[in-house]
Structure 1
Amino acid sequence: MASVTKIKTYHFLPYKYGSELLLDIGRMETLNHFVLDSTLHQLSFYEILFIEEGSGTFTLDENKMTISPRTIFFTSPGQIRRWDIEKQIKGYTLFFEKDFLHLFFSDELFLYRFQYFHQYSRPNEMQIEETHFEKCLGLLHEIEREFGQLQNDSNHLIRSLLYQLLVVLNRYYAGVYDVQRDTYVHADFYRFRSLLEKKFMEDHNVESYTRMLNISPGFLNKICRQFSGLSAQQMIHYKRISEIKKELYQNKSAKEIAYEFGFSDPSNFNRFFKKLTGTTPQQYRKNM
């Protein structure tokens, strides 16, 4: 039986500053825990990393990304991570629980409106020009200053600064990757993304989601292509592959994963994985 690789999970500390605050900021070079952890680990919260100096690689799920100045990494809860540092990293980490924004905006779909979170078909990082990076740092400095003098209404001010930063980053991301930047394309697209995160294990075809959304398959495909460049079925496949790769990190057998993800037998699972990735699950694990 294959041995299981233990993946550490880091959780948010909401009462670090006394009263509950679901966002935090820090200098990467001063944090010794999940930031720069060279072992496999995951977070239960969102994080955005702003690299000012340093070199090496940052692996997020199966994607190995180069660390360099003016690079920004976006991570969503549950992604498998690992750092490989060559030259000391300096920069900011901004991390938060979804409820920091969801409860204020009364919108469960809020964070799905941004292109860079819950992304499994496009990059989770971007490098931006110096003036844009400086604008981001300016907003981070304002958040940092507020943490230095917390008051009863600080969470409102910090939330407004975070919202501004998320929108600005969405514009930059759209410019770098030439994608739709409008955060209000169509509510059904965001509902689909949200459902996909919750239902991908048991629902594998477009019709299942269109029934839940009460829309036609044609309309769902139209809005998916408009905002993501993928069909609805492709989005489902990419999500499943992304999650299967996480299981392969933990050394589960192909048979175990196949039945867990609803495949009728391991051979069908192998064919599906190879069609989407160009390699078998066994080869993928070996390459890791």
Structure 2
Amino acid sequence: MNRDILHFRYLCIRNRFIMKQIPLYKFHKRKYGTELLIDVLDLDYIKTGIRRNPVHRETFYCIILITDGREEVTVNEHTRFVQAKDVICSRPGEIWHWQPDPKLEGLVLIFEEPFLLSFFNDPHFLDRFAYLQANRTSPFLHFGESLNERFRSLLMQMKTEIDDYTDKDQHILRAMLYEALVLLNRAEKVEDSGQPMNDISTSRYINGFIHSVEAEYMMRHEVEYYADKLCITPNYLNKIVRQSLGTTAKAYIHQKLFAEAKRLLSYTILSVTEIAEWLHFDSASHFVRFFRKHADMPPLQYRQSINSPQK
């Protein structure tokens, strides 16, 4: 394969693929005029966005009390059939998977971290609640009858305070939010289904990963990019790649890059700098370090060893 053909192939790949991101929903801070970093909504209010993007992320904390229906919901690969009296708790940046046309009913409490931190002056305040910690085993809680009624009533009071008063008393809302967080601390901790992705789903993700890497590894080296395309987290992608392929997602991508680098060094006259550009490394030195790590020799030495006559 000559240099012109390789260059044409590179241009085709570069123009063909566009990065796909998981939609990110941001807090509407001035929905009520002045800035307010807390809101309580009916679940119906956000269903339009869910139908448009059943898989999405959010920049804020989100707590949903389910009041009716039964349906599967996934937060960061934790899946559960939620129903009345169940609560779903998510941190900023976590990935939600909803049904394409959700039928659940409920109340949604959302808030930005600074709403509380401005009062408590403790950067780790929210991490003190186990159900909001990044390493929690499940984002799902369940209320008993009396606790459910108390929590639901509190959310309705918060909603009334927000909806009915022109001047929002943030001190009252902050106190109500703190009470809500304490009540959630009393809820029953429930695990997810234990198998958030079945064998068919895992196979689909693995096949999608392999296909995407095969098409784009010269352009995209980041595990996060391929995880975003599959609408899963990088940690989960690494987990299923290791289980299915016996290696990490990063190592799999690097194997492809290394194989292509060897082909280019063996069968073209491209310089090391040109190969580095071709494979979208930040610099030639970065490519040299990458190649040396995998081949135990720099690129030019590898080329010389390939082109040297066998004795």
**Shorter-normalised TM range:** 0.5 to 0.7
Determine the structure 1 residue equivalent to 2:161: 146
Q: CA deviation at 1:3?
A: 7.4
Change (3 A) 1:87 1:151: closer
Q: Which of residues 172, 191, 205 is equivalent to 2:187?
A: 172
Distance 1:157 1:79 in 2: 28
Q: Which of residues 48, 54, 65 is equivalent to 1:39?
A: 54
What is the root-mean-square deviation in Å for CA atoms of aligned residues? 3.7
What SS class does the counterpart of residue 156 from structure 2 fall into? helix
Q: Which amino acid aligns with 1:143?
A: M
- 8 Å Cα contact 1:70-1:133 kept in structure 2: yes
1:76 aligns to 2:91 (yes or no): yes
Change (3 A) 1:151 1:3: closer
Count of residue correspondences: 204
Q: CA deviation at 1:132?
A: 1.3
Q: CA deviation at 1:149?
A: 2.4
Change (3 A) 1:15 1:87: closer
What SS class does the counterpart of residue 187 from structure 2 fall into? helix
- 8 Å Cα contact 1:273-1:281 kept in structure 2: no
Distance 1:256 1:134 in 2: 50
Q: Which amino acid aligns with 2:130?
A: Q
Determine the structure 2 residue equivalent to 1:11: 26
- What runs of 5+ residues in structure 1 fail to find an aligned partner? 179-246, 261-268
- Structure 1, 80-89 or 39-48: larger mean CA deviation: 80-89
Larger relative helix fraction: 2
Matches within 5 A, 1:151-162: 151-152=166-167, 154-162=169-177
Distance 1:101 1:259 in 2: 31
Q: Which of residues 136, 141, 146 is equivalent to 1:126?
A: 141
What SS class does the counterpart of residue 279 from structure 1 fall into? helix
Identity %, equivalent residues: 25
Q: Which of residues 116, 121, 129 is equivalent to 2:131?
A: 116
Change (3 A) 1:57 1:3: farther
Distance 1:258 1:138 in 2: 44
Determine the structure 2 residue equivalent to 1:218: none
Q: How does the TM-score come out when normalised to structure 1?
A: 0.60
- 8 Å Cα contact 2:23-2:56 kept in structure 1: yes
What SS class does the counterpart of residue 52 from structure 1 fall into? strand
Q: CA deviation at 1:85?
A: 6.0
Matches within 5 A, 1:104-253: 104-152=119-167, 154-173=169-188, 176=189, 253=213
- 8 Å Cα contact 1:36-1:82 kept in structure 2: no
Determine the structure 1 residue equivalent to 2:221: 256
Determine the structure 1 residue equivalent to 2:301: none
- Structure 1, 117-126 or 136-145: larger mean CA deviation: 117-126
Change (3 A) 1:259 1:41: closer
Q: Which amino acid aligns with 1:41?
A: H
What SS class does the counterpart of residue 69 from structure 2 fall into? strand
- Structure 1, 118-127 or 34-43: larger mean CA deviation: 34-43
C-alpha distance after superposition, 1:60-119 (max 9, x if no partner): 121222121111000000011121167721110000110000111111111111111133
Determine the structure 1 residue equivalent to 2:243: 279
- 8 Å Cα contact 2:142-2:187 kept in structure 1: no
Distance 2:56 2:179 in 1: 29
Larger Rg: 2
Q: CA deviation at 1:151?
A: 4.8
* Structure 1 residue ranges, 4+ long, deviating more than 6 angstroms after superposition: 281-285
Determine the structure 1 residue equivalent to 2:63: 48
Change (3 A) 1:29 1:283: farther
Q: Which of residues 69, 72, 75 is equivalent to 1:57?
A: 72
Distance 1:18 1:259 in 2: 37
Change (3 A) 1:3 1:54: farther
C-alpha distance after superposition, 1:187-216 (max 9, x if no partner): xxxxxxxxxxxxxxxxxxxxxxxxxxxxxx
- 8 Å Cα contact 1:48-1:95 kept in structure 2: yes
Distance 1:11 1:282 in 2: 37
